Structure formats: C-alpha cells, structure tokens
C-alpha cells in the first residue's frame, strides 16, 4: 500500500512541475500576444502541446494508481486526496500540500488562459470586421467619376428585389 502512495506522491509532484511549466509558457504567450510577437507565439505552441500531452500521460498514470488503491483498500469509489490523507496520516501533509499546489496552479492557469482567450477573441473579431469590409468592397466594386470619387450605385429596394 505505501508503494502506491509513494507512486501517487511522485506522480503528483511531476504533475505540479508540468502545470508550473504550462503556466510559465502561458505567461510568455500572453506577453507575446501583447507585443504581437508572432515568432514567439509560434515557438510556444508546440511547447504547450507537448506539456499538455505530458500532463495527460501523468493523469492516466494517476488514475491507474488510484484504481490500484481502490482495489487494495476495498473502497467503493475512487477516494479524493483528503480521504487518502485521512487513511494514511504519515503522508497526509505531503498529499494535502500537493493538492493545494495543484489547485493553485489550476486556478492561475485558468485565469491566464481566460485572459489570453479574450485577447485572441478581440483580435479575431477585429480581423473579421476588416475582412468583411474588404469583401464587401470587392463584391460591390463601384464606378468612379472623372475626379476619382467613387459613385455609389443605386440601392436595390424591396420593390426592385421582389418584382
């Protein structure tokens, strides 16, 4: 049993390290987005994806260890870390500290991701507007007068469109 707990603690410490790395990468991405540094953003994308994949692998390992604990302890369901801390008092401080560290990192990552998402959404909204204006100008290319002033064509009315 203590082997499972020590494996779990090792996995949790690796998860904390990976979440910390992801947070640093998100902060670098946010700074690059503020500066419109496309090269840095492009360099960070594969790093973030690799970190997310490592986090996914560690989560799978954590689930396997938790299932082994459920079988070993004959529990009805997968316990939370607070329950494991109650069941294993010597490892309680380390488990609870890991739990708190993961919660803090997850909150910071969520906050940083939300901010970056809002910034990206705003930029894409502006680009969408520009493209719509350009598409409309190309679609409705007008004629120009002798002085170079665009002449606006007559607008199609409801009666013209129907009849």
User: Any residues with CB less than 8 A from the CB of 2 and at least 6 apart, and which?
Assistant: 88, 91
- Residue 100 and residue 87: Cα distance in Å, rounded? 18
Distance CA 91, CA 125 (A): 50
Burial of 8 (0-12, 13-18, 19+ CB in 10 A): buried
b (16+ CB within 10 A) / e for 105-125: beebbeebeeebeeeeeeeee
Question: Do residues 25 and 44 make contact, with C-beta atoms less than 8 angstroms apart?
Answer: yes
Q: What pTM did the predictor assign?
A: 0.73
**Average pLDDT of 97-114?**
93
H or E segment at 73? helix 38-73
Helices 2-35/38-73 angle, 10° precision: 160
The phi and psi torsions of 144 (rounded to 5 degrees) equal -115, 145
* Cβ(140)–Cβ(153) below 8 Å: yes
CA gap 60, 104 in Å, rounded: 21
For 66, phi then psi, to 5°, come to: -65, -40
Greater confidence (62 vs 134) lies with 62
pLDDT score, position 39: 94
Residue 163 pLDDT greater than 60, yes or no? no
Mean pLDDT of 78-96: 90
Query: Tokens at residue 60, please?
Result: 């799978």
Q: What is the pLDDT of residues 30-63, one digit of tens each?
A: 899 888 898 999 999 999 999 999 999 999 999 9
């Amino acid at each position: 049993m203590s082997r499972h707990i020590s494996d779990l603690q090792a996995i949790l410490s690796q998860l904390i390290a990976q979440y910390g790395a992801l947070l640093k990468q998100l902060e670098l991405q946010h700074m690059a987005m503020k500066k419109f540094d496309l090269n840095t953003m492009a360099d960070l994308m594969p790093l973030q994806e690799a970190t997310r994949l490592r986090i996914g692998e560690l989560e799978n390992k954590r689930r396997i260890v938790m299932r082994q604990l459920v079988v070993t302890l004959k529990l009805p369901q997968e316990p939370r870390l607070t329950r494991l801390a109650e069941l294993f008092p010597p490892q309680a401080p380390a488990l609870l500290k890991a739990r708190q560290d993961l919660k803090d990192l997850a909150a910071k990552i969520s906050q940083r991701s939300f901010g970056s998402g809002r910034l990206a959404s705003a930029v894409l909204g502006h680009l969408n507007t520009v493209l719509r204006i350009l598409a409309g100008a190309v679609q409705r290319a007008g004629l120009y007068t002798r002085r170079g002033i665009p002449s606006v064509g007559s607008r199609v009315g409801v009666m013209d469109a129907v009849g």
